């Protein structure tokens, strides 16, 4: 699994039906952090903070 899919899994873990798109460089081509990635919250979805997403990523 990639860093982007890890982010997606963390978001889904926080909110199973979250409507979002997450986008960033593949980790094998660029060292990145959550702040390097873009998250689109679709259809009026309430944004989840990157701090909360990072906390969930650390748990998974």
Partner 1 sequence: MAFATIDVTKGITGTIPVANGGTGLASGTTGQFLKFTGSTAIGTGEAGGGKVLQVLNMLTATETVVSNNTYTDVGITLAITPSSTSSKILIIAQCNGVGKFTNNTFAKLRMLRDSTTIIDDFAKEGGNTGDTATNKIGTIGTTYLDSPSSTSSLTYKVQMMSGQNNASVQCGASGAKSTMTLMEISV
Nearer to partner 1, 25 or 55 (CB): 25
Closest approach of partner 1 to the CB of residue 33, in Å: 15
Nearer to partner 1, 27 or 55 (CB): 27
Q: How many CB atoms lie within 10 A of CB 20?
A: 17
Say if residues 38 and 53 touch (Cβ distance below 8 Å). Answer: no
* Contacting residues toward partner 1, per CB under 8 A: 2-5, 7-8, 11-12, 16-26, 28-30, 40, 42-43
């Amino acid at each position: 699994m990639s860093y982007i899919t890890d982010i997606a899994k963390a978001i889904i873990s926080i909110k199973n039906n979250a409507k979002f798109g997450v986008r960033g460089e593949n980790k094998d081509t660029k060292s990145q952090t959550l702040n390097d990635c873009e998250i689109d919250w679709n259809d009026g979805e309430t944004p989840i903070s990157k701090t909360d997403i990072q906390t969930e990523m650390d748990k998974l």
